[in-house]
Amino acid sequence: MPFFKRSFLLISWLISEDITYEISVEAISTMVVFLSCQLFHKEVLRQSISHKYLMRGPCLPYTSKLVKTLLYNFIRQEKPPPPGAHVFPQQSDGGGLLYGLASGVARLWTVFTLGGVGSKAAASPELSSPLANQSLLLLLVLANLTDASDVPNPYRQAIMSFKNTQDSSPFPSSIPHAFQINFNSLYTALCEQQTSDQATLLLYTLLHQNSNIRTYMLARTDMENLVLPILEILYHVEERNSHHVYMALIILLILTEDDGFNRSIHEVILKNITWYSERVLTEISLGSLLILVVIRTIQYNMTRTRDKYLHTNCLAALANMSAQFRSLHQYAAQRIISLFSLLSKKHNKVLEQATQSLRGSLSSNDVPLPDYAQDLNVIEEVIRMMLEIINSCLTNSLHHNPNLVYALLYKRDLFEQFRTHPSFQDIMQNVDLVITFFSSRLLQAGAELSVERVLEIIKQGVVALPKDRLKKFPELKFKYVEEEQPEEFFIPYVWSLVYNSAVGLYWNPQAIQLFTMDSD
C-alpha cells in the first residue's frame, strides 16, 4: 500500500506547515475519508490498515503536532476566503505534484462554497468555519480510535496530557506525545461553540480525560460562560438529540463532583435570563438556575422519554450540589418540592394500579396482567433520592436556605404518607423534625401571616433549632464513570456527527452499517 503510506505522510506534512486554508481543509478531509471505513462495518473496528499507520506507522511522530494543530484550528474558528481569492503560484510548465493538488483543491473548494452536490454544510449557514469544523471532527475520530492490542491510542494520550502554555513544569518522561496550548483561548472557544454536538463532545472529552484542563476550568472565576450554554442545551431538550443532551448532562455531573464549583455557582448572580421562558428571572444565582434546569429535564423525561439513565444522572448532579445549596431562589425551592409532589402523585397512581392488578389476578387466572412491582420500585428509588437531596440541604445548609423551609412548610401535607413507609422512615426523620419545629413556631406567631413574616420567623427559628437532633447521614457524592467498552457508544456517535456535519463529504446512506439512518 505505498500510495496509502505516502498519502498519510503528505497529510501529516501539510497539516504541520503554514499553508493555505483550502489545502488544510482538504488534507483533513482526506484523513477523515481514509478512516471512514468504520462507517461500513456494524461492529467497532479494532484492526485496520488505518489503525496500523496511525498507531505505529510513519504518522506516529506527528501525533502531538497533529492534535495541537487540530485544536488550534478549532480555537481560531478561521473563516474561509471568499470565492476566487485563492492565491497559488503561476507556473507555465504545469508545476509539480503539490501545485497540481493545490489547483485541484481550489476548484473543489469553489464547488463546496457555492453549495455543490453532496455538500451538507452548504445548507447550514451557522457553519462559519469549515476548517474548524472539519478539524474538530477529525480530532474526535482520532481520540476515539480503539487501542491496538499492544499499543494505546497515541492521539488519546496526547489529548489526556497536554498542558497550558503558562505551565512551566517539565513533562514526565513517561508521558509521550505531550504538548502545550493556550488554555484561555481554548476555554473561550469551548464557551462560544456549545451549540454544536461536536463542541460539547470535545468539552466532555477534555473534562473527563485531561486533569490539567479540568483543574484549570474549575479554577475559572467566569464559569457562567461555560455553564450557561450547557444549561441552554438541557433547557431546549426537545430540540436536541438524546446524545447531545447526555453529553451536556454528564458535563454538569463531572463539574458537580467538585465542592468548590458547587459553592461558587451560588455566588454568581445572573440577570434577565432571556431563554428561560417559564418565569421571568430578573435576578437569580447560577446555582439556582442550574437546579431549575435539571429539575425541568427530569420532569420532561418523566412525561416524554422515560429514560432511567437520564433520571439517574440528573439526580446525581443535584445530590452532589445539595450540601452546598446556598440562598436558593424561591422559585428553585418551589420546583424542588413540586418535583417531589409530582413523584408522590405518580407513586400513588402506580400503587393504585398495582392494587387493582392484584385484585384482578385473584378473580381471573386466564388474563395476563401487567407487573407493576418494577415500576413501583423505580419510582420509590427516585422518591428516596429526592428525600436524600432535601435532607442533605437541611442538615448541611439549613440556615442558608429559608426559601426551602418555606416551600416545605407550604406543602407539608405531601410528606405525611411517607412518615411510616418502611422505605423512607429513616430519611423522613429530619424532614419531619424540621416541619414540626417550624410549624410550631408559626402556630405560636398567630394566623394570617404574610410571606415576609413567615420568612422572618424561619430565619429566627434556624438559630434556635437544636442541630444535634438532626440525624447524620453519609455525604451524597456521585462520580461519573464511563461504562465498560465506551467505544460501543462513542464511535457510532462520533461517526454520525461526521456523516451529518463534515464539509463537502458524501457517503452513500444505503451503505452505512455503523448506525441506523433514522437514529439520533
Percent of the chain with pLDDT over 70: 83
pLDDT at 46: 78
| Residue 89, pLDDT score | 41
Choose between 22 and 195: higher pLDDT. 195
Could you tell me the pLDDT band of residue 117, with boundaries at 50, 70 and 90?
A: very low
Question: Quick one: cell of 101?
Answer: 493538488
Q: Helices 425-445 and 451-464 sit at what angle, rounded to 10 degrees? A: 120
**Residues facing 180 on adjacent strands:** 163
Per-residue model confidence as pLDDT tens digits over 185-237: 999 999 999 999 999 999 999 999 999 999 999 999 999 999 999 999 999 98
DSSP collapsed to 3 states, 235-266: HCHHHCCHHHHHHHHHHHHHHHCCHHHHHHCC
Calpha distance 92→351 (Å, rounded)? 85
Q: What is the model's pLDDT at position 124?
A: 42
pLDDT tens profile 410-424: 999 999 989 888 889
Cα dihedral sign, 167-168-174-180:
positive
pLDDT of residue 121: 36
pLDDT value for 405: 94
H, E, C per residue of 419-462: CCCCCCHHHHHHHHHHHHHHHHHHHHHCCCCCHHHHHHHHHHHH
Cβ-in-10-Å burial (0-12, 13-18, 19+) of 510 comes to: exposed
Residue 242 has pLDDT above 80, yes or no: yes
C-beta of residue 141 within 8 angstroms of C-beta of residue 32: yes
Residue 505 has pLDDT above 60, yes or no: yes
| Average pLDDT of the residues in 316-328 | 95
3-state SS, 285-310, equals: EHHHHHHHHHHHHHHHHHHCCCCHHH
Q: Report the 10 Å Cβ neighbour count for 108.
A: 16
pTM (two decimals): 0.86
Among the listed residues 17, 14, 2, the one whose alpha carbon sits nearest the alpha carbon of residue 57: 2
Q: Grid coordinates in use for 476?
A: 451524597
The pLDDT assigned to 77 comes to 93
pLDDT, residue 10, reads: 55
For residue 248, name the pLDDT band (cuts at 50, 70, 90): very high
pLDDT for 371-384, tens place per residue?
A: 677 778 888 888 99
Mean pLDDT, residues 478-485 taken together: 89
Task: Please state the separation of Cα 455 from the chain's center in Å.
Answer: 36
d(CA 259, CA 262): 5
Whole-number pLDDT of residue 384? 92
Region 118-123: mean pLDDT is: 35
- Which pLDDT belongs to residue 378? 82
Q: Are 58 and 9 in contact (CB under 8 A)?
A: yes
Q: Which residue has the cell 474549575?
A: 218
Q: CA 150 → CA 46, 128, 345, 483, distances in Å?
A: 12, 40, 55, 22
Lookup: cell for 76: 481560531
pLDDT tens for each residue of 386-399? 999 999 999 999 99
Given a cut of 70, whether residue 360 has pLDDT beyond it is: no
Distance of CA 303 to the CA centre of its chain: 21
Lowest-confidence region among 49-58, 174-183, 447-456, 464-473? 49-58
Closest by Cα among 233, 228, 331, 341 to 288: 331
The per-residue pLDDT for 365 is: 56
313, three cell numbers: 444522572
Neighbouring CB atoms inside 10 A of 210's CB total 18
Residue 184, pLDDT above cutoff 90: yes
Q: What is the pLDDT of residue 180?
A: 93
Question: Does residue 485 register a pLDDT over 90?
Answer: no
d(CA 116, CA 83): 13
Q: What DSSP string describes 60-93? A: GGGHHHHHHHHHHHHHHTPPPPPTT-------TT
Average of per-residue pLDDT across 419-440: 90
Residue 272 CA to residue 284 CA, distance in Å, equals 8
Residue for cell digits 430540540? Answer: 239
pLDDT at 72: 93
Alpha-carbon gap, residue 293 to 307, rounded angstroms: 17
Q: C-alpha cell of 470?
A: 438532626
Rounded CA separation 76/137 (Å): 15
Q: What is the pLDDT of residues 53-101, one digit of tens each?
A: 787 777 778 888 899 999 999 999 998 887 765 544 444 444 433 333 3
Residue 345: how many CB atoms within 10 A of its CB? 11
Angle between helices 197-209 and 154-161 (to 10 degrees): 80
Is the per-residue pLDDT at 106 higher than 50?
no
In terms of pLDDT, which residue wins out, 311 or 325? 325
Instruction: Report in angstroms the alpha-carbon separations of 103 from 7, 89, 99, 293.
Output: 17, 10, 6, 51
Closest listed residue to residue 252, CA positions, set 304, 292, 192 = 292
Instruction: Map residue 494 onto helix, strand or coil.
Output: helix
Asked whether the predicted pLDDT for residue 171 surpasses 90, the reply is no
Instruction: Cell 504545469: give the residue.
Output: 94
Q: Give 342-350's long-range contacts (Cβ < 8 A, gap of 24+).
A: 342/299, 342/302, 343/379, 343/382, 343/383, 343/386, 344/383, 344/414, 344/417, 344/418, 346/302, 346/379, 347/376, 347/379, 347/380, 347/383, 348/417, 350/375, 350/376, 350/379
Average pLDDT over residues 302-307: 76
Question: Of the given ranges (137-141, 173-177, 417-421, 504-508), which has the lowest mean pLDDT?
Answer: 173-177
Which of 45-54, 98-107, 225-234, 460-469 shows the lowest mean pLDDT across its residues? 98-107
**What value does the mean pLDDT take over residues 329-350?**
92
pLDDT (0 to 100) of residue 328: 95
Which has the higher per-residue pLDDT, 342 or 127? 342
pLDDT at 111 over 90: no
Count of CB atoms within 10 A of residue 298's CB? 21
**Mean pLDDT over the full length of the chain:** 83
Rounded average pLDDT over 252-268: 96
Cα dihedral 406, 408, 414, 419 in deg (nearest 10) = -140
Which range is least confidently modeled, 13-17, 96-100, 258-262?
96-100
